[in-house]
A and B are shown apart, each in its own frame.
Chain A
Amino acid sequence: MTDRVGIVIVSHSPDVARGTADMVRQMVGTDVPLAQCGGDPDGGLGTSVENIMTAIAEAWSEAGVAILVDLGGAETNSEMAVEMLPAEQRDKVVICNAPIVEGAVMAATESWGGATLSEVRSTAEELSAS
Chain B
Amino acid sequence: MGPNTLKSVIEAVSDAVIAHTDELTGLDQKIGDGDHGFNMKRGFEAVLADLPAITDLAVGPALKKAGMTLVMKVGGASGPLYGTLFMALGDALPEDPQRGDYVAAFAAAIDAVKARGKAEAGQKTMLDVLIPVHQVLADGAKGAAVREAASAAAQATIPMQATRGRASFLGERSIGHMDPGARSSEIIITTVLNVLEAEQ
Point out residues on A near B: beta carbons under 8 Å: 40-42, 44-50, 71-73, 76-77, 79-80
Nearest CB of chain A from residue B3's CB, rounded to whole Å? 28
Residues from chain B with Cβ under 8 Å of A71 in the complex: 166
CA distance A110 to B39 in the complex (A): 36
Other A-B pairs beyond A42-B42, A48-B75, 18, CB < 8 Å = A40-B35, A40-B76, A41-B72, A42-B75, A44-B38, A45-B33, A46-B35, A46-B76, A47-B75, A48-B72, A49-B80, A72-B165, A76-B80, A76-B117, A80-B79, A80-B80, A80-B84, A80-B116
CA distance A46 to B77 in the complex (A): 9
- The count of residues in chain B whose C-beta lies closer than 8 Å to any C-beta of chain A is 21
Judging by beta carbons under 8 Å apart, are A73 and B76 in contact?
Answer: yes
Interface digits, B24-68 against A, CB 8 Å rule (1 contact, 0 not)?
000000000101001100100000000000000000000000000
Judging by beta carbons under 8 Å apart, are A77 and B77 in contact?
Answer: yes
Interface of B is mostly: helix
Nearest CB of chain B from residue A44's CB, rounded to whole Å? 7
Nearest CB of chain B from residue A63's CB, rounded to whole Å? 27
CA distance A71 to B77 in the complex (A): 10
Judging by beta carbons under 8 Å apart, are B77 and A79 in contact?
Answer: no
